């Protein structure tokens, strides 16, 4: 695994002062419970999602979204949603400082990783 992050999301209130990183072969979440690594091999999709509370109020919340594992205040803010192919938490939602920028950096890293370099 590579050592230098390609993208680092700053800590903020909406992320509960946790840090989210994109590496060349994985994502890492530096949480209050320790560091959690998600290898690119486990990621099926990554997208920016609207605040979960908005979808719930408007009646558009589905069961898949309700069962997501939340790392922070994703219910209240635009956030990133990752669908995984392995592990207990199949859908993970979290709120980096800039969800669109984080998602773009992660997709670029995944594309480069898939291309072999």
Architecture of domain 7-114: Roll (2.30)
Q: Say if pTM beats, i.e. exceeds, 0.75.
A: yes
Q: What is the pLDDT of residue 50?
A: 83
Token pair belonging to 102: 């984080």
Residue 86 contacts residue 27 (beta carbons within 8 Å): no
Instruction: Measure CA of the first residue to CA of the last residue in the chain; give whole Å.
Output: 13
Token pair belonging to 9: 């999301």
For the chain, list residues with pLDDT below 70: 1-2, 52-67, 117
Separation between Cα atoms, residue 24 and residue 60, nearest integer Å:
34
Token pair belonging to 23: 């590496």
In sequence order, which ranges of the chain are alpha helices (DSSP H)? 52-57, 63-66, 99-114
| Domain spans, the chain | 7-114
Separation between Cα atoms, residue 10 and residue 34, nearest integer Å:
17
Residue-wise pLDDT for 13-43, tens only, equals: 888 899 999 999 999 999 988 999 999 999 9
Q: What is the pLDDT of residue 41?
A: 96
Q: What is the pLDDT of residue 66?
A: 56
Q: What is the pLDDT of residue 33?
A: 87
Q: What is the pLDDT of residue 115?
A: 94
Q: What is the pLDDT of residue 67?
A: 66
């Amino acid at each position: 695994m590579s050592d230098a992050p390609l993208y680092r999301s700053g800590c903020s209130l909406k992320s509960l002062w946790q840090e989210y990183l994109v590496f060349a072969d994985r994502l890492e979440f530096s949480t209050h419970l320790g560091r959690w690594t998600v290898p690119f091999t486990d990621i099926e999709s990554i997208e920016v999602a609207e605040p979960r509370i908005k979808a719930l109020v408007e009646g558009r919340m589905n069961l898949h979204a309700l069962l997501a594992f939340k790392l922070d205040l994703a219910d209240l803010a635009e956030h990133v949603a990752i669908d995984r192919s392995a592990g207990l938490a199949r859908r993970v939602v979290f709120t980096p400082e800039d969800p669109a920028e984080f998602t773009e950096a992660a997709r670029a890293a995944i594309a480069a990783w898939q291309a072999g370099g």
